[in-house]
Amino acid sequence: MNIDSVGKYIREYRKKRNMSQETLAEMIDVSVPYISQLETAQKYPALETLINIANVLDVSPNHLLCDTMNDEYEMKRSVMLDEISELPEREQERIFTVVRAMIDEAKR
C-alpha cells in the first residue's frame, strides 16, 4: 500500500486538466500551501477533501486511491480501462493489439 501516491495522482490529474494549484485550492476552499502539501505527501486529505478534489478534477476517488487499495491491481485495471476508453477507437485498437501480444507471450 502506497499512501504517498495519492498526492502524485492529485498532481497528475490537476495537470491533465491544465489547472493550477491556486485554481484547485480556490475551488475546494483550501489554501495553496495545503494543495502543495497534499501533492508532496506531506499531508493526506480528509475524506471530504478527497471527494471534493475528485469532483473538481472529474475523476473517481478510486483513481486517486488506486495504489492504496488492497485490490490495487483491480483498481489499476479499472483506471487504465477508463483512460483507454477516452482515446480514439484507432488508438484503442492499437493498445489492445499490444496488450494481447504481451498476454500471449506471458502465457508461454
Percent of the chain with pLDDT over 90: 63
pLDDT value, residue 83: 86
Query: How many CB atoms within 10 Å of residue 52?
Result: 17
What is the CB neighbour count within 10 angstroms for residue 43?
15
| Cβ–Cβ < 8 Å for 35, 79 | no
Mean pLDDT for 47-56 is 95
CATH number of 1-69: 1.10.260.40
Rounded Cα gap, residues 71 and 87, in angstroms: 25
Residue 3 contacts residue 10 (beta carbons within 8 Å)? no
Residues of the chain with CATH 1.10.260.40: 1-69
Kindly report, residue by residue over 25-45, the tens digit of the pLDDT: 999 999 999 999 999 999 999
- The chain-wide mean pLDDT, for the chain, equals 89
Check residue 69 and give its pLDDT. 60
0.95 cut: is pTM over it? no
Q: Can you give the pLDDT at residue 30? A: 97
| pLDDT(70) > 70 | no
CB 63 within 8 A of CB 11: no
28: DSSP letter: H
